[in-house]
Amino acid sequence: MAVIGASNAAHAQQEPPQGWFKACTKQEDVDVCNVQFLRRAETGQLLTAVNLIEVKGKINRRVLQIAVPTGRLIPPGIGMQIDGGATRKIEYAICVPDRCVAEAPLTDELVNSFKRGSELTLTSVNFQNQPNPIKVTLQGFTSAFDGEPLQQSELDERQKKLEEFVSKNNEEFAERLKRAQEEAKQSR
């Protein structure tokens, strides 16, 4: 069962929301809490997402999910390494149009290793057989995991900031492309 889960103020507004956070919801007879970290490219494209999901109630399940962009080789899975330690292979569970998701059981041992660690390295292999390591800070993980979930208003604000970031970057990209096309026409 896959659960698809700055130096100055002006500069800070141009970055997408980052860092670990917890979101909890009630869905019928179950409570779902997700401690997550999202890393996006300047375009807003998802580079990686780490989700530690706990489902309690009529159904009880704990799962670690790691999402990466599509175009990955499936057999290697995602290599997960904490602070340069041994690499653990996380198998892919599903690929959807915008991401591939790897899953593993969420154990207390894994949570404690995240709490003790300082950096997580997640390595997927792209379709050209090139490893794509992504570094994820574990700073802030413990307070997100052990702390209270964000309120809906805080989650809405994060989503709004992300949408503004993507929109602004898309506008800037379109403007740069237009300028480059005009310059190319003039140099003919």
Convert the pLDDT of each residue in 122-170 to its tens digit: 999 999 999 999 999 999 999 999 988 877 666 667 666 656 665 665 6
Which range is least confidently modeled, 18-32, 81-95, 122-136?
18-32
Question: Phi-psi category of 84—alpha, beta or left, where left has phi over 0 and alpha has psi -120 to 50?
Answer: left
**Contact of 101 with 4, CB cutoff 8 Å:** yes
Instruction: Take residue 27 and report the two structure tokens written for it.
Output: 């869905």
Spell out the CATH class of 15-150. mainly beta
* This prediction's pTM: 0.73
Q: What pLDDT is stored for residue 127 in this prediction? A: 92
Comparing CA positions, the residue from 17, 21, 102 lying closest to residue 67 is 102
pLDDT at 91 exceeding the cut of 80: yes
**Contact of 66 with 49, CB cutoff 8 Å:** yes
DSSP of the chain, one letter per residue?
-------SHHHHTTSPP-SEEEEEEEETTEEEEEEEEEEE-TTS-EEEEEEEEEEEESS-EEEEEEEE-SSB-STT-EEEEETT---EEE-EEEEETTEEEEEEE--HHHHHHHHH-SEEEEEEEBTTS-EEEEEEE-TTHHHHHHSPPPPHHHHHHHHHHHHHHHHHHHHHHHHHHHHHHHHHHHT-
Instruction: Take residue 166 and report the two structure tokens written for it.
Output: 């993507």
The whole-number average pLDDT for the span 29-48 is 86
Q: What pLDDT is stored for residue 46 in this prediction? A: 83
The answer to whether the Cα torsion of 94, 96, 100, 104 is positive or negative is negative
